[in-house]
Amino acid sequence: MTASERVTVRWWRWRRNALKRRVDVVEAWVVLAGWVLALLAGLVAGLMAAGTVERAVERQRAESRQVQAVVVEDAPGPSPARVASDHRVWGKVQWTAPDGSTHREEARVAPRAPAGSTISLWVNRSGDITSPPVSSGEAWLHTAMGGALTGFFAGGAVLGATCLSRLAFDRRRMAQWDAEWERMDTRRGWKTG
């Protein structure tokens, strides 16, 4: 049969058909339910993940404070062997945390920064150095990507389960056809093939 002679009958599981079996109807309903559940699960999981990421970003912003730190010792010069993107070095600094306690630790400072110069640091509630909070653009990107990827994987998991159920239906259908062919071959006691 050539490709031009082939006729594809769409939605045949939903129409009246003498060749349609009960397993065909069940499979059609399972596939429909699988697609609907995949869309709903993807949407719900994506929205929940986006909300979780957004709350984490807001919590990070609420817990971070920018403080002024004083360089305690003269900072070393840049290392000639090291290739760094910002060319900063580690130097001893001192700052006062939001709770009033004084902290002294190493932080990234400009090369050869003299003692007594000030730098800006981001600290958490307990006064420990932390990374700066993400910008609004980065927060939007994290939220969008987290929600989209989670929704994609949740919907994909449901569609994967639907695909596995279709394989089970195909195996059952083939077993039924095999049993019927066996019955047709042995009806009069002899094989047809």
Tens digits of per-residue pLDDT, 64-90?
A: 888 889 988 888 877 766 555 667 888
pLDDT of residue 113: 86
Block residue for tokens 């929940």:
48
Block residue for tokens 């990070």:
60
pLDDT of residue 131: 87
Cβ atoms within 10 Å, residue 68: 11
At 121, which helix (H) or strand (E)?
Answer: strand 118-123
Q: pLDDT tens digits, residue range 12-23?
A: 666 677 777 788
pLDDT of residue 26: 87
Cβ atoms within 10 Å, residue 156: 13
Say how far residue 59 (Cα) sits from the centre of its chain. Answer: 20
| Rounded Cα gap, residues 16 and 72, in angstroms | 86
With a cut of 70, list the residues of the chain below it in pLDDT.
1-4, 6-15, 80-86, 185-193
Q: Which two tokens stand for residue 40?
A: 């709903």
